[in-house]
């Protein structure tokens, strides 16, 4: 699998109706296809990997996808914004 | 110094059924923290009505006015009008080249909103030149800034105490640091920033740049905040904006 095919597969992940993930990046490293980027849930990670497997790259998938930090309880961050004195 | 108007904001929540339950518990009782909740587009993952229902169900939990713009994902299925209609029916405000005001205990909050579009920034922007396809691309980017400026001008007539510009695409490149520079022209549009500077805005809020950073400034010094959820890593951020008249 060459670099152009990796870019084609990135486009497939961006346009496949199951995924539409625009932030997934692929790199060929020896016999590995490194998949990186960020998705919002485990389900979305699985979908990305399914789309890649369907393309039969012949490479071992190295899953480096990160999950977005899930918002948790606790007070929100406040920031005070003060107009400039001249305005 | 008088009380600030408390503006909560988040963007790029990309709701679908798999994320149901993620936001509603965190938005209940938000009125203790904020006077309004702004959502900076990409409400849905694929732009379907079912996903818009998931968004509405989650964000209905907020007990303050919810104001949104749509993002590029919300347009993908060609159902953007139906999505906007659904959200309006659920009591939310969808801004697209329009503005609204909200009375708060600290004064009148005015928000003008637009999705925005690609174009780029100084030294790296697309030019309105050449093939019709290129002109159509750049023309849409330019038009979104014109539309934002018009909405801000209309809003000025309402004399808000605090004015916020809400977009999906970024109006400055400060908040794109962290994103690959090659894609910056697809993440924002310097003309949005010009419209914000010309109109006199207290705060600009955008999303779209998941790998960017939260804080930036326009060339004239207006605070810009990238509230894409992967950036703020919270259900929302709150900006306590002190009305200009009190400075």
HEC per residue, B197-221: HHHCCCEEEECCCCCCCCEEECCCC
The answer to whether residue B247 scores a pLDDT higher than 70 is no
Contact: B237, A77; criterion CB under 8 Å: yes
Instruction: Calculate the average pLDDT of chain B.
Output: 96
The pLDDT > 70 percentage for chain B reads: 99
- Residue A59: give its domain's CATH number: 3.30.1340.30
Nearest residue to A25 (alpha-carbon basis) of A17, A14, A41: A14
- Which segments of chain B are extended strands (E)? 5-10, 36-40, 66-69, 93-94, 98-104, 107-114, 162-167, 203-206, 215-217, 223-226, 237-241
Q: What is the pLDDT along chain A (87 residues), one digit of tens a residue?
A: 677 888 999 999 999 999 999 989 999 888 889 999 999 999 999 999 999 999 988 899 999 999 988 887 766 789 999 987 764
Q: Is the pLDDT of residue B33 over 80?
A: yes
Cα nearest neighbour of A71 on chain B:
B234
Subunit contact B247:A84, Cβ cutoff 8 A: yes
Does the interface ipTM go beyond 0.85? yes
pLDDT higher than threshold 70 for residue B57: yes
Q: Which fold has domain B5-246?
A: Purple Acid Phosphatase; chain A, domain 2 (3.60.21)
Q: Is residue A29 part of a domain?
A: yes
Give the integer Cα–Cα distance in Å for B170 and B235.
Answer: 20
**Best A76, A77, A84 residue to mutate vs chain B (most B CBs within 10 Å):** A76
Q: For a pLDDT cut of 90, what percent of chain B falls above it?
A: 94
Residues of A in contact with B223 (CB under 8 A): 81
What phi and psi values does residue A65 have, to the nearest 5 degrees?
-70, 140
A 26-65 residues with CB < 8 A to B: 38, 40-41, 43-44
Residue-range definition of the domain harbouring residue A21: 3-67
pLDDT of B246 above 60 = no
Chain pair A-B, CB pairs under 8 angstroms: 84
Tell me the C-alpha distance between B118 and B187, whole Å: 6
Confirm whether A20 is domain-assigned: yes
> For chain A, how many structural domains are there in total?
1
pLDDT at A30: 86
C-beta separation of B62 from B37 below 8 A: yes
Query: If you average pLDDT over residues B67-76, what whole number do you get?
Result: 98
**Residue B2 is encoded by which pair of tokens?**
């008088």
Query: Do A40 and B235 make contact, defined as CB atoms within 8 angstroms?
Result: no
Interface probe with B: pick from A36, A69, A78, A84, most Cβ of B within 10 Å: A78
| Residue A85: per-residue pLDDT | 73
Q: In the structure encoding, which two tokens stand for residue B240, read together?
A: 């306590």
Among B228, B144, B150, CA closest to B192: B144
Do the domain assignments include residue A19? yes
pLDDT digit string (tens) for B210-240? 999 999 999 999 999 999 999 999 999 999 9
């Amino acid at each position: 699998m060459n670099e152009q095919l990796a870019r084609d597969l990135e486009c497939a992940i961006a346009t496949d109706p199951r995924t539409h993930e625009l932030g997934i990046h692929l790199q060929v490293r020896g016999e590995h296809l490194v998949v990186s980027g960020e998705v919002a849930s485990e389900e979305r990670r699985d979908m990305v990997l399914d789309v890649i497997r369907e393309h039969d790259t012949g490479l071992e998938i190295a899953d480096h996808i990160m999950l977005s930090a899930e918002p948790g309880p606790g007070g929100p961050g406040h920031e005070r914004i003060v107009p400039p004195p001249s305005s | 110094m008088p009380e600030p108007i408390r503006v909560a904001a988040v963007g790029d929540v990309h709701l679908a059924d798999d994320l149901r339950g993620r936001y509603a518990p965190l938005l209940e009782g938000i009125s203790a923290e904020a006077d309004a909740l702004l959502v900076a587009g990409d409400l849905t993952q694929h732009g379907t009505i079912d996903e818009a229902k998931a968004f509405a169900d989650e964000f209905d939990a907020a007990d303050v006015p919810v104001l949104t713009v749509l993002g590029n994902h919300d347009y993908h299925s060609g159902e953007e009008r139906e999505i906007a209609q659904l959200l309006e029916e659920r009591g939310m405000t969808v801004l697209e080249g329009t503005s609204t005001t909200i009375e708060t205990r600290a004064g009148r909050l005015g928000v003008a909103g637009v999705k925005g579009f690609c174009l780029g920034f100084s030294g790296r922007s697309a030019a309105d030149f050449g093939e019709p396809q290129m002109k159509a691309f750049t023309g849409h980017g330019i038009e979104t800034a014109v539309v934002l400026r018009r909405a801000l001008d209309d809003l000025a007539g309402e004399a808000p105490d605090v004015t916020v510009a809400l977009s999906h695409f970024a109006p400055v490149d400060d908040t794109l640091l962290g994103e690959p520079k090659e894609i910056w022209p697809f993440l924002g549009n310097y003309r949005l920033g010009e419209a914000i500077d010309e109109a006199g805005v207290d705060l600009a809020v955008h999303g779209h740049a998941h790998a960017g950073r939260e804080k930036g400034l326009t060339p004239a010094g207006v605070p810009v905040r990238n509230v894409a959820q992967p950036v703020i890593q919270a259900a929302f951020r709150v900006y306590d904006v002190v009305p200009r008249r009190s400075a």
